[in-house]
Structure 1
Amino acid sequence: MTLTVNGKAMQVPAGTTLHQLMIMMSVSAAGRGSAAAVDGVVAPRSRWESLELRAGQHVEILTATQGG
C-alpha cells in the first residue's frame, strides 16, 4: 500500500503499524527523541505498536538531533 511519509510516497506492506514504519525509517525502536503524526494527529508513543496504518494516510516523522 502507498503512504505519504514526510511528503514522499512510500510503499509498505498492508497491515504495517506505525512502530514498524518507524523501524523501516531507521528511527529508534524505543522512540526516544522521536514523534509521529498520522493525518495531522500526533500519535502517542504508547500506540505505535498497535496503530495499523491505512493506504493513503499521511505520516510525518520528526527526530530530534543534537548539534551546536
Structure 2
Amino acid sequence: MTIRLNGSDHVLPGPTTVLTLVDRLDLGRTDLAVAVDGAVVPRSEWADHTIPDGADVDVVTAVQGG
C-alpha cells in the first residue's frame, strides 16, 4: 500500500495504524501531531486509526515560539 507522507510517496507493507507508522518512523519524540487526509488524529486514537491506502499523511513536531 502507498501513502503520501509529508509530501513524498511512502510504501507500507499493508494496513497500518498511525501508532505503527509513528513507531516505524523512529522519530523518538513525544511532541508529534499526525493528520490523515487533513484531519488531525488525536494521540488517544493512534492505536486504532488505520491509515487507508492512498492517504495523505502529515507528521509534524510541535514548536514553541511567537
Give the TM-score normalised by the residue count of structure 1: 0.83
Residue 19 of structure 1 pairs with residue 16 of structure 2: no
Write 1 or 2 for the structure with the bigger share of strand: 2
Shift of 1:63: 1.5
Unaligned runs of 5+ in 2: none
- Equivalent pairs counted in the alignment come to 64
Give the TM-score normalised by the residue count of structure 2: 0.86
What is the aligned partner in structure 2 of residue 41 from structure 1?
39
Paired letter, 2:11: Q
Q: Distance in 2 between matches of 1:16 and 1:26?
A: 15
Unaligned runs of 5+ in 1: none
Identity level (%): 36
Q: Calculate the aligned-residue CA RMSD, in Å.
A: 1.7
Does the CA-based 8 Å contact 1:35-1:62 persist in structure 2?
yes
